[in-house]
Structure 1
């Protein structure tokens, strides 16, 4: 993909003049952050340090689990919504999802092979996994752009914001607590401040106090002091009391 100023302007033109419910914005920020951080961590992993090696491999495996779950969520909730009112609108992305599932399976096997290989084989196998993961991440970035443009256009044309919130609510309700907490760890720190306040403000109203507090505990180490203070101010919470 080659990006020039004209293409950037065209991308900007696809954004609604009045903000709409965006099913992709938050989770895609989380996935971009998680993929990038994991790829960079794999690149600097010390294959001679057993703990660092094990943690690096486990991080890749964890990422692949999240990406597989994300595909399943979109296949189960978002694609049927598109097909219900714009038949054929999700077919191109659905085909890419099938390719991603096969790629994830290959990467899962590569991680298992790396963890089981002889110490002398770790370095070349880790490098091969790094290159394979880099290509997978690159394709995912292009894939997410397609969803954020073509799919959002279809959703915004055929659904009201209330209807999109219903789709989003059903999807979120299907996510197990452990997966949700991991998603929050990668989503909230990499949102813009206003997005953080909106997301956590809604969660504060709807979720049990213990669950909301657990999310704050998970994300706080990954926010700067200034970001944390802005979040507390936006939520109307005393920063000192929340620390």
Structure 2
């Protein structure tokens, strides 16, 4: 679905998809004979689950509730799916604990079970995010102006702790297209404190490919 209207889901979902894929690959390729590597990678999975939990809570509270306030009779299929995802997150957290508590003989099997269940969770999330980016977005467009949708997004950002705000912003900026990245940074430069904006650029410079950073920084200068 292509439209000039603002899609509140696009950028954060690009970041979530990338984080999910990266985490799954890391979990599947870890050295299962190295206790420290296992510990570190299980923490990565746990961090991903926390990110997913916060994301669905924000969507429940700010997006779903906004839609239902405007039209209580609309059916939002993703409400039920969010409940299922919360169950899956709890299940995956239990599997992480089992991996942590297993002896060396049991741990390989436990890690493989966690890997497979995480893959299923991610697969379901990919389908779920597509529904949000199409069906839910159309509901938002029917009910709200772009300015109102941006206000909902700012409420979500405002509900995050500063550390989480920066982490999510960097995740987004490193996993979106050049045009999306430039547009987002131009808006940020206009509204965010200069020191916050410069801190984000410093982090971004370290994470982007050199060619991407050079093109971005050049266009930011031109647009100043």
More off after superposition, 200-209 vs 132-141: 200-209
Partners of 1:126 and 1:15 lie apart in 2 by 40
| Counterpart-to-counterpart distance in 1, 2:180 and 2:84 | 32
Residue 211 (str. 1) matches residue 193 (str. 2)? no
Counterparts of 1:1-243 in structure 2 under 5 Å?
A: 14-16=1-3, 19-236=4-221
Task: Spell out structure 1 runs of 4+ moving beyond 4 A.
Answer: none
Matched position secondary structure for 1:236: helix
Number of residue pairs aligned between Structure 1 and Structure 2: 223
Q: Secondary structure at the match of 2:86?
A: helix
TM-score, with structure 1 as normaliser: 0.87
Which ranges of structure 1 fall in alignment gaps of 5 or more residues?
Answer: 1-13, 238-243
Residues 221, 134 of structure 1: alpha-carbon distance in 2 compared, 3 angstrom cutoff:
same
- Matched position secondary structure for 1:190: coil
| In structure 1, distance between residues paired with 2:123 and 2:204 | 26
- The TM-score normalised by the length of structure 2 is 0.94
Tell me, what secondary structure is at the counterpart of 2:65?
Answer: helix
